[in-house]
Amino acid sequence: GQNIDQPTEMTATEGAIVQINCTYQTSGFNGLFWYQQHAGEAPTFLSYNVLDGLEEKGRFSSFLSRSKGYSYLLLKELQMKDSASYLCAVKDSNYQLIWGAGTKLIIKP
Amino acid sequence: GAVVSQHPSWVICKSGTSVKIECRSLDFQATTMFWYRQFPKQSLMLMATSNEGSKATYEQGVEKDKFLINHASLTLSTLTVTSAHPEDSSFYICSAPTPSGPDNEQFFGPGTRLTVL
């Protein structure tokens, strides 16, 4: 079956750096997405990786290793507003998005 | 950027009634829209793919007669939860792939929280 694993919850301190990992096992691979979802709201797009390596976008970076079935989202200079759930999703061989359960990130002052 | 709207944002209804949720792409045309359901602290679950001008494609385990989908135009898809029951209470989210962005990136509507009493 298809599976995406991410930690359920993480805690970090304001101003620090946090790395959220995602491992996947899917039938085919056509890209990996990271989305941010605040409580009670819909997800918003953060990043997209289809080739190995690091994609940097401001305070957020996303890394992909296709051979390892692994990605991480790196958040720098954490702010209180970064408290949210972070969803990893992989597009499989049928171009269908397979979603992880999300990682709830708690930022403490 | 692309905007997807949903209406209503929340609804409370009695068991046995039907509820219609609208999903609109505001500044682009969407031949395909996706309907998701999300229970508390769980992942997004794709319910169905809505196709303009043709029948929706439902995921395994989703009752097509209970969750009626109509994609009547290039900017509007509707999901009707028929004879709703308390177990249908959930957060329903629609999304649409955008003309631009990476490999059909999806933009999400704000979601509709359904509570069935």
pLDDT tens profile A46-70: 999 999 999 999 999 999 999 999 9
> pLDDT category, B107, cuts 50, 70, 90?
confident
Candidate from B101, B102, B108 with C-beta closest to A43? B108
CA–CA dist B93, B3 (Å, integer): 14
Determine contact, residues B16/B117, Cβ cutoff 8 Å. no
Q: Does A21 touch chain B (CB under 8 A)?
A: no
Candidate from B104, B105, B111 with C-beta closest to A42? B111
Q: Does A80 touch chain B (CB under 8 A)?
A: no
Q: Does B44 touch chain A (CB under 8 A)?
A: yes
> pLDDT category, B99, cuts 50, 70, 90?
low
- Residue B5's pLDDT is what? 93
DSSP reduced 3-state for B87: helix
Q: Does A106 touch chain B (CB under 8 A)?
A: no
> Is the confidence at residue B94, as pLDDT, over 70?
yes
B52 vs B18, which has greater pLDDT? B18
DSSP reduced 3-state for A64: strand
CA–CA dist B34, B29 (Å, integer): 14
CA–CA dist A5, A103 (Å, integer): 10
